[in-house]
Amino acid sequence: MEAFFDLPMGMLTKIPVEIRNTRLGLEAFDDLLIERPAHHDVYFLAFPFDSDLMVGFVGGDFAWEMSAAGEAAAVDFVIDRLVSIFGSDLRGHVGRSHMTNWGAERYVRGAYAAARPGKAKAREILTQPVGERIFFAGEHLAGPLIQTCGGARLSGEAAARQVIAALA
């Protein structure tokens, strides 16, 4: 139980905004990081795969705040940041927009696990089964691939091998 407490879900929220008929002088997959006071930073992935999307990312406490504030507030924030750099003409190019809200998903409740400071050992503890009957798997136990889909899969395969060995 302590290991679960030490490894809570962290948050990453994506806020994609459609920008029509302009590339703002950027290339597909360009990175743009806008740093702001109080860790209210926003990172943009520009026009991935040459789509019309500027994908905003916010993380950590600010992402939880954003989720609580809701999609309209998050989209306003992202557009205001873009306008502060590219000018107010940009507003005329804005199309559809969205915010992921994994924190509100009943069975997910965040983006991926983030160990509390000094508590990374919790990951190791959870790789051990409980009473030879309960086996844990997921991105949080994926060693160097934590926080990724690939890591989650490899962790699941490792847990399956543990179960097979226990049943043999």
Ligand X SMILES: Cc1cc2nc3c(=O)[nH]c(=O)nc-3n(C[C@H](O)[C@H](O)[C@H](O)COP(=O)(O)OP(=O)(O)OC[C@H]3O[C@@H](n4cnc5c(N)ncnc54)[C@H](O)[C@@H]3O)c2cc1C
Q: Which residues of the chain form contacts with ligand X (CB under 6 A)?
A: 12, 14, 100, 102, 107-108, 111-112, 138-139, 147-150, 152
The CA distance from 138 to 155, in Å, is 6
Distance, CA of 114 to chain centre: 11
**Nearest-CB residue for ligand X:** 138
Residue among 108 and 120 whose Cβ is closer to ligand X: 108
The CA distance from 75 to 132, in Å, is 47
Q: How many CB atoms lie within 10 A of CB 123?
A: 19
Q: Cβ 155 to ligand X, closest distance in Å?
A: 7
Q: Cβ 106 to ligand X, closest distance in Å?
A: 8
The CA distance from 163 to 10, in Å, is 28
Residue among 16 and 86 whose Cβ is closer to ligand X: 16
Residue among 97 and 100 whose Cβ is closer to ligand X: 100
